[in-house]
């Protein structure tokens, strides 16, 4: 019988972020399906108390915590030692963890130290006899495979957006402290600060509830015979500021800069969605001024509810690609949407 460990690092405030709570749902579902399998929670961070309280109602037989100031920083050496100690303390045979940047970097090394195996981009986990089967994506989410392994512990990094985030009652939880042999290894890396683009310059937000896609139409001649790129920029940036949506783009829009046309200054190829771009996961998507051709919409396959605004009632979105198509001028619609959003009381 497997021993299932849900492993998570805390955020700076000591709580679990959404990707961790999604992985917790995956771990609980597996523990419930494999009735009787021991289910353990392992937490690591500088402060684990809030997270332990958050998972108090998750039904784990044990909650283990590696708590140390040296785990405040995402650093390979300290994270690997703590994760290894938690896996060993739990006697885990299956470890389910969120595929955060921090864990994607460190858990493959931990699986090597433990003589086990690791799989990334996991989207489904199902029990199979005494073991389990996993569905994961390969080759930039273009190939889907179902597999099982005999190596243990088997570490599974669950992609964000595949499971609902766990929202159970929090309560009082006494976590068992797990000591980490930090002295066994020098911690040479020290994070002295973070240099990041300004909040508004960072337009790709994988955790956003909404993907907003801008197509080439925003830069094209409009009904008055003129292009209105500065207004398009303002409308899109205002919408992103008001909603914290993630910004995607069509290939045409990011490429027309090379043809000497005026383009939206904040877009790069990293925003591109589609066959030769990204395939993000968001609950909702809104496409604007984008034709909805197959090489673009193939990048929408993990967008649950899709809407599009296009002047052309015959565009690609109308052919089964969108749930709702608004046949309208996106300039007029987004102007009005921004007015309504600005007037609405701020969300809690």
Ligand X SMILES: Cc1cc2nc3c(=O)[nH]c(=O)nc-3n(C[C@H](O)[C@H](O)[C@H](O)COP(=O)(O)OP(=O)(O)OC[C@H]3O[C@@H](n4cnc5c(N)ncnc54)[C@H](O)[C@@H]3O)c2cc1C
Min separation Cβ 15 and ligand X, Å = 36
Min separation Cβ 47 and ligand X, Å = 42
The token duo for 153 is 């512990």
Phi and psi at residue 218, to the nearest 5°:
-60, -25
Between 166 and 331, CB nearer to ligand X: 331
The token duo for 300 is 């929408």
Between 94 and 232, CB nearer to ligand X: 232
Between 117 and 311, CB nearer to ligand X: 311
Whole-angstrom Cα distance, residue 58 to residue 45? Answer: 19
Between 323 and 329, CB nearer to ligand X: 329
Between 53 and 289, CB nearer to ligand X: 289
* 139 Cβ contact list (under 8 Å, min separation 6): none
Question: How far from the centroid of its chain's Cα atoms is residue 180's Cα?
Answer: 29
Min separation Cβ 159 and ligand X, Å = 20
Min separation Cβ 185 and ligand X, Å = 43
Beta bridge partners of 154: 94, 117
Q: Which candidate, 281, 30, 21, 19, places its Cα nearest to that of 154?
A: 30
Its sign, for the CA torsion 75, 78, 81, 84, is negative
Whole-angstrom Cα distance, residue 147 to residue 29? Answer: 18
Between 46 and 311, CB nearer to ligand X: 311
Q: Which candidate, 243, 253, 256, places its Cα nearest to that of 273?
A: 253
Binding site residues, ligand X, CB under 6 A? 215-217, 220, 222, 250-253, 272-277, 289-291, 293, 295-296, 299, 309-312, 315, 329-331
Whole-angstrom Cα distance, residue 311 to residue 288? Answer: 10
Min separation Cβ 275 and ligand X, Å = 4
Neighbours of 114 (CB within 10 A): 19
Min separation Cβ 174 and ligand X, Å = 51
């Amino acid at each position: 019988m497997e021993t299932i460990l849900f492993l998570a690092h805390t955020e700076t405030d000591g709580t679990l972020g959404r990707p961790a709570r999604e992985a917790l749902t995956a771990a609980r579902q597996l523990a419930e399906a494999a009735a009787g399998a021991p289910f353990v929670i392992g937490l690591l961070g500088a402060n684990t108390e809030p997270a332990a309280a958050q998972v108090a109602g998750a039904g784990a037989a044990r909650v283990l915590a590696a708590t140390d100031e040296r785990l405040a920083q995402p650093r390979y050496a300290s994270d690997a030692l703590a994760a290894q100690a938690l896996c060993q303390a739990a006697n885990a045979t299956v470890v389910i963890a969120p595929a955060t940047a921090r864990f994607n970097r460190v858990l493959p090394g931990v699986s090597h130290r433990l003589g086990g195996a690791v799989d990334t981009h996991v989207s489904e986990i199902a029990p199979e006899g005494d073991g389990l089967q996993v569905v994961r994506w390969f080759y930039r989410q273009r190939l889907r495979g179902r597999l099982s392994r005999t190596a243990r512990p088997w570490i599974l990094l669950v992609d964000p957006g595949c499971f609902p985030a766990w929202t159970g009652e929090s309560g009082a939880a006494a976590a068992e402290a797990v000591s980490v042999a930090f002295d066994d290894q020098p911690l040479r890396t020290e994070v002295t600060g973070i240099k990041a683009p300004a909040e508004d310059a960072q337009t790709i937000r994988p955790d956003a509830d909404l993907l907003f896609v801008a197509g080439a139409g925003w830069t094209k001649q409009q009904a008055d015979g003129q292009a209105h790129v500065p207004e398009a920029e303002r409308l899109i940036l205002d919408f992103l500021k008001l909603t914290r949506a993630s910004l995607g783009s069509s290939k045409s829009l990011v490429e027309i800069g090379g043809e000497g046309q005026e383009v939206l200054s904040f877009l790069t190829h990293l925003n591109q969605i589609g066959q030769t771009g990204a395939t993000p996961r968001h609950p909702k998507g809104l496409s604007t001024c984008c034709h909805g051709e197959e090489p673009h919409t193939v990048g929408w396959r993990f967008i649950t509810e899709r809407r599009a605004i296009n002047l052309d009632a015959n565009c690609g979105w109308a052919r089964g690609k969108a749930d709702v198509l608004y046949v309208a001028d996106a300039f007029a619609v987004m102007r009005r949407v921004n007015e309504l959003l600005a007037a609405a009381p701020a969300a809690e």
